[in-house]
Structure 1
Amino acid sequence: MIFDDDNFIDGLRNRNEDALEYTIDRFTPIVTSVVGKVLECYGKETKEECISDVFVSVWWNIERFKGEGTVFKNWICAVARFKAIDYYRRFANKENVISINTTVSPDVLDEIITNEDRKEVVELLNILVPEDRKIFSMRFFLGMKVKEIALQLNLSEAIVSNRIYKGKERIKRCIEIEARKGQELEEVDVSEG
């Protein structure tokens, strides 16, 4: 069967390798661009490995895509971006300081998430240990189910669920602490004025 923009998604869902080949041929330039922006300070080999992982992720998670071919480009860009962020974190310095270059084309970024929200999300995820950050990315950015995450990371579903629960609680406490600090600063400003 010959694949084109109208039928490649159905081919991917039916696990047709020719559809995957079409997807790779069609979307490699944009995936390369997105990955290259995030991993610009890393070598060609790292970028190529990440790009390959993007297409593997698309292959195994195509059922998560709920849309037509016209929005597939945005979806694969989001997958590429988050996969590249995972790579960046993996190779970042030991302090896990994250400095993400967000100069991807505006039409893609506007549909994924705003700059302010993205910075806030990355800062919140930084309070989690690396494995928990990966679980959160898989669950909330890629939309994977707990069972799928458990299989991919070779963990039990109970462990994955527990880490998600504890991670949410930790993030919630962090937000509450920041909110209290903000209120205290406002009270100080008002009393001094």
Structure 2
Amino acid sequence: MNDDNLIKLLKKNPSRGLSCAIEQYGGLVKTIAVRIIGYENQQDIEECVSDVFVELWKSIDNYNKDKGILKNYIISIARFVCINKFKRKMNHTEIIPLEESGLELDFDMDDEVSAIINKKIIKETIYSLPQPDKDIFIRRYYLYETVKDIAETLGLNAKMVENKLYRGKENLKLALLENGIII
């Protein structure tokens, strides 16, 4: 089902619209919940998934397709809901209601919880790269070695190192987008 039809369905027949939204985006939302909350508490994950779709239904009138696709809007809601749940678990008391957020939901990277989650996603993505791509990426962006030095150390030519860095950045960007980090 395309975004326009799903939005119309959410407005016209909320229960059917929510069923379709869950069918279409439930796996994505659950993945985001697991990454933010952790695997340990399945009940919290299921609550978050449910809360995300309730918030989607409540805020569907705030969705503006000129600002992005529905999938990214749902990812933003999922991150917002799950981060609030995570904060509650960590005994933080300040929870911002979604309605008061204005649904711009562009999370500040200085926010402690977002920074922790983002670092975890980046680390997992880097460590999932094949060799020598992982070594190249770490040497360049964590150890600040030059492309020339990396190429010499690993016995590759500089152009190959640049290509592997480019592909690594593309993989990282894709992983961040899939996990709700809007770039």
CA contact (8 A) 2:79 2:180 kept: no
The one of the two structures with greater contact order (alpha-carbon pairs below 8 A, sep at least 6) is: 2
Give unmatched runs, 5+ long, in structure 1: 114-193
Query: Partner of 2:27 in structure 1?
Result: 29
Task: Work out the CA distance in 2 between the residues paired with 1:63 and 1:94.
Answer: 30
Task: Work out the CA distance in 1 between the residues paired with 2:84 and 2:53.
Answer: 15
TM-score of the aligned structures, taking structure 1 as reference length: 0.49
Query: Partner of 2:62 in structure 1?
Result: 64
What is the aligned residue count? 109
Task: Work out the CA distance in 1 between the residues paired with 2:89 and 2:20.
Answer: 31
Which residue type is aligned with residue 101 of structure 1?
I
Which residue type is aligned with residue 182 of structure 2?
I
Deviations 1:72-125 (A, max 9, x none): 111100100010000000011579974632228223568625xxxxxxxxxxxx
The within-5 A match list for 1:126-145 is none
Q: CA deviation at 1:14?
A: 2.3
Query: Partner of 2:177 in structure 1?
Result: 107
Q: CA deviation at 1:20?
A: 1.3
Q: CA deviation at 1:22?
A: 0.4
Task: Work out the CA distance in 1 between the residues paired with 2:22 and 2:39.
Answer: 24
1:40/1:72 Cα in 2 relative to 1: closer, same or farther (>3 Å)?
same
Deviations 1:2-27 (A, max 9, x none): xx225111111224321111001110
The within-5 A match list for 1:1-193 is 4-5=1-2, 6-40=4-38, 42-67=40-65, 71-93=69-91, 98=113, 100-102=116-118, 103=121, 105-108=175-178, 112=182
1:49/1:16 Cα in 2 relative to 1: closer, same or farther (>3 Å)?
closer
TM-score of the aligned structures, taking structure 2 as reference length: 0.52
- 3-state SS, counterpart of residue 65 of structure 2: coil
CA contact (8 A) 1:36 1:47 kept: yes
CA contact (8 A) 1:74 1:108 kept: no
Give unmatched runs, 5+ long, in structure 2: 95-111, 123-174
Percent identity (aligned): 27
Deviations 1:146-166 (A, max 9, x none): xxxxxxxxxxxxxxxxxxxxx
1:87/1:110 Cα in 2 relative to 1: closer, same or farther (>3 Å)?
closer
